[in-house]
Amino acid sequence: MLSLTDVHTYYGKSHILHGVSLEVAAGEVVGLLGRNGVGKSTTLKSVMGLAPPTRGRVTFEGRDITGLAPHHLARLGVAWVPEDRRIFKLLSVMENLRTGLDRAGMDDARRARLLDKVYAAFPVLRDRRNQAGGTLSGGEQQMLAIARAMMLEPKIILLDEPTEGLMPRMVSQIRDIVDMLHREGVAILLVEQNVALTLTVSNRIYIMEKGVVRHQAAAADLRADQAVIHQYLGV
Amino acid sequence: MGVPVDQILVQTVNGLVNGMILALVASGLTLIFGIMDVVNFAHGDLVMLGGFVGAVTIAATGNFWVALLVAALVVAVFGAALQISTLRPLLGRDPLTTILATFGVSLVLQKYALWQWGPSARNLPEPITGRFDLFYLQYPWYRVATALLAGAMIGGLWLFLKRGKYGIWIRATTQDRVMASAMGIPVPWVHTGVFAIGAAMAAASGVLFGPLGGVTQTMGADFTLRAFIVVVVGGMGNLGGSILAAIFISLLEAYASLVVSPAQAVIVSFVALILTLLFRPTGLFVPTPK
Amino acid sequence: MSGRPSQRGYWIGFGVVLGLLIVAPLVLPPFWQRFVTEILIWGLLAMSSDILIGYTGMVSFGHSAFFGLGMYGAAAALLSVAPPNLWLALLYGLVGAGLVAVFVAFFSTRLREIYFSITTLVFSQIFYVIIFTWTAVTGGENGLTFRQPGLGLPGLGARAFTPTTLHWFVLAVVTLSYLVLRRITQSPFGMVLQSIRENEPRTRAIGYAVERYKIVAVMLSGLFAGLAGVLYAIQNKFAAPDFVFFLVSGEVVIFNVMGGVGTLVGPIAGAAFFLLLREGLSRYFEYYLIPVGIIFTLMVIFLPQGFLGFLRRRLNQ
């Protein structure tokens, strides 16, 4: 459904991605592992049009989306949950959700259903729906960021380090959320430092090093033999 | 105190009236800056343009309120076209290039106005005639109406921003344009829309100001300068701050003109600007400095 | 970076232009004679502004203040001392501009880009208002008129200027200023200024006292702008508040952009181009500034380096 072919991306003059190729099938959970700075976040940004590739192609459902502006991608069904969450701090929780909820073709009934579904998954957001986004705790902000992405009813979510800075208890909550999304048929491209979590929730895993994909395997295989992971991540 | 109390009170009213008009101009400017980091040098000239379009419409229709509406709409459309043609290509570039580009636009607008409408001032007729007794003066009702109308427009803007889908779009884009885009908000069009709104408000100010001070092609520079000062003193991007700052500065100038000539009273606002930049550069009316 | 041939080419070009300018007053009719002299003066002003805009990356709308105070300073000297003394005029003018420069320099270190630009604009206006309203001292709206001083050397007595000798004097001053500024911009000091323009935080991180460099840049810029003001006063024998209005600063910025910022020569060419355009077009179309303004705006968007920008490497090597 989503595929990157030989993508090269620069940040200014720095050549970050040196020809990244990977794929995510519909409904799949794909993990992207690697040390800090290898270009995992940049890969997500290259898909989302935030760091447009200078070479290579990104296709989504057969359509070339290379370098398209982010708002087009959101409308096509690609949602991005960034590493630092990027909650609209001065907007209320409800207003944060509305940035995704208020879309063309969403009548009141559909909106209400979507909102209820998300509040059921994240009850704390219902409680805090009129509070400013900036007053939420780190874990709550992460919930909000994911809930906000869900408002787009996406076909794939680009999830960047969701457990970063969260307490261990919340990590298992993230695992439950990813599982829930997977059950609903949403594909996920997951960038993570937490290897254990990634191994648990993913179907397949790519390992990146220095701006390229070095290794690819089914998660099951890697769960059984973690030597490769130790090799690349030194964990 | 050498100045009689009723003079001070009259100046207070004058200050408030001028302050509301200035607030209308400044809120557009600060909105534009807040959302797209553009310092619109031509903003005062949009006021001027609105005034002239209003004058022409009044001459044609005889109705002040129609003129107000037409001026706002025409200049809004013009503003949108301007933003699309000259400012969109500059997004992401050095912010100083937008100063230069809008300066160029300002120059063209001024000379164009001179060409089309000549150098003499146009006085717009007051839509509401009649005066009431304010201490020792016969104070025009129109001035009061102007302040109320400006206040209503600003209030309308406030409501628009706080509720409604587009208000959320604007506020989200102002806070984080990248994330707003990632949420499907068409950021380039939000920018154009905000510019158009700012232009419409500037144009409305021009028409409202028409009966008070006349419309000339040089009035733009004066409004731009004052609006800048207000926006900086109020905190760039801070809507509430600009409104308070506009009133504050206009009151200061009104009081100052009791002791010096109006041409010199304007120095008061310059001093306010410099003091703000020295001691509270994020703005006098910003609750917590960033 | 600069090979021998391009250096030689540069100096040949320089010599040719200089030669033309020296000969100019001898062959041109009086109106054009004065015109060329004025171009030189505005060119000097534009050059001084380029130090800030082109080299240090600080857009100043305050050059009209420096120019104006140079002008009025000279006026003060020429009115207060008889017979009018050229060197005193220069001194007063430079001191006047220098004082303003100190003021502006102080703010330049504490304000970022946009705030700095707005503040310089406000300064121009403050001075404009003061000059305009303090009629007793400055002549207010009507300005001041005075007699032109002669070229006097101590011990030798003064000879009055003719338009030709005045032109040569102005040419000498401007040429000297150009050479001095060129030397400065090509020195390590100039390199640091450009580094500040490219990336201020990094320059600071490397260890340069950015504030001091900015102060010197502003002082330099202000003094040369003031010098231009003095020359203008001497040539035209009057000082008027119009020149302090911030739109004059705006015109200077136009010269810079059209000619090419960061080239020193570019702004002079920009001034020449603009003034010639004004002369030429205003005969046919009174509102020539409309197309000029449009061209300027388009240049800012599409050709930010100006006409001479792309020749920059070669010219100032």
Which of A82, A89, A99 is nearest residue B180 as measured by Cβ atoms?
A99
- Of B169-183, B251-265, C123-137, the one with minimum mean pLDDT is C123-137
In the prediction, which pLDDT does C27 show? 78
What mean pLDDT do residues A197-204 have?
92
Q: Which pLDDT score, from 0 to 100, does residue C158 have? A: 64
Query: Element (H or E) spanning A14, and its range?
Result: strand A14-24
A216 strand-pairing partners: A206
Partner residue facing B172 (CB), from A69, A70, A91? A91
Mean pLDDT for chain A? 91
**Span B82-105, mean pLDDT?**
85
Which chain C positions have a beta carbon within 8 Å of B264's beta carbon?
129, 133
- Cα separation of the two ends of chain C: 8
Residue B180: inside a domain: yes
Residues A151, A155, A157, A158: is their CA dihedral positive or negative? negative
Choice between B3 and C38, residue whose per-residue pLDDT is larger = C38
Please check whether residue B253 lies inside any domain of the structure.
Answer: no
pLDDT surpassing 90 at residue C281: no
pLDDT at B31 over 80: yes
CB A187, CB A2: distance < 8 Å: yes
Give how far A60 is from chain B: nearest CA, Å. 16
Contact criterion met (CB < 8 Å) for B184 and A75 = yes
Higher pLDDT, B91 or A187: A187
Find the closest chain B residue to A80 by CA distance.
B182
- B-C CB pairs within 8 A amount to 99
pLDDT band at C191 (very low <50, low <70, confident <90, very high): confident
ipTM of the complex: 0.91
A114 band by pLDDT with thresholds 50, 70 and 90: very high
User: How many structural domains comprise chain B?
Assistant: 1
Nearest Cα neighbor of A101 from A29, A150, A46 is A150
C60 shares contact with chain B (CB less than 8 Å)? no
Tell if the CB–CB gap between C301 and B95 is shorter than 8 Å.
no
> Residue B138 pairs with which residues in a beta bridge?
B133
B→A contacts (Cβ < 8 Å), by residue, are 165, 168-169, 171-172, 175-176, 178-188
pLDDT, average across residues B19-42: 91
Q: For the residues A13-32, what does the mean pLDDT come to?
A: 92
Shortest alpha-carbon distance between residue C126 and chain B (Å): 6
Given a cut of 50, is residue A52 above it in pLDDT?
yes
- Amino acid in the structure at residue A207: I
Average pLDDT over residues A14-18: 91
Q: Residue C2: pLDDT above 50?
A: no
pTM of the model: 0.87
Residue B134 lies in a domain: yes
Interface test with B, best of C109, C138, C248, C297 (most B CBs within 10 A): C297
Residue B156 pLDDT greater than 70, yes or no: yes
Highest mean pLDDT among A169-173, B203-207, B258-262, C240-244: B203-207
- Touching chains C and A? (3+ Cβ pairs < 8 A): no
In a domain, B209, yes or no: yes
Q: In 3D, which of A14, A115, A142, A7 has the Cα closest to residue A65?
A: A7
Share above pLDDT 70 across residues of chain C, in percent, rounded to a whole number: 91
What's the confidence (pLDDT) of residue B238? 85
- C-alpha of A65 from chain center: 17
Instruction: Note whether residue B243 is domain-resident.
Output: no
Tokens representing C98 are 């220098």
Residue pLDDT, tens place only, C151-181: 766 655 667 777 777 888 888 888 899 889 8
- Residue range B209-233: average pLDDT? 88
Task: Give residue C314's pLDDT.
Answer: 47
pLDDT at C107 over 80: no
Q: Residue C84: count other Cβ atoms within 10 Å of its Cβ.
A: 21
**Per-residue pLDDT at B289:** 43
The pLDDT of residue C267 is above 80: yes
**Whole-Å CA distances, A162 to A89, A145, A156, A172:** 18, 9, 15, 11
Rounded Cα distance between B184 and A100, Å, is: 7
Domain residues for the domain of B77 are 23-219
Radius of gyration of chain A (CA): 17
Domain annotation covers residue B29 = yes
> Cα(B216)–Cα(C268) distance, rounded to whole angstroms?
33
Residue B186 located in a structural domain: yes
Lowest mean pLDDT among A92-96, B29-33, B105-109, B258-262: B258-262
Higher per-residue confidence, C276 vs A189: A189
How much is the pLDDT for C131?
A: 83
Cβ–Cβ below 8 Å for C125 and B261? no
* Cβ proximity of C225 and C70 under 8 Å: yes
pLDDT digits (tens, 9 = 90+) for B115-125: 888 888 888 88
Establish if B275 belongs to a structural domain. no
What tens digit of pLDDT does each residue of A54-82 get? 999 999 999 999 989 999 999 999 999 99
Stronger pLDDT, C124 or C152, i.e. the higher one: C124
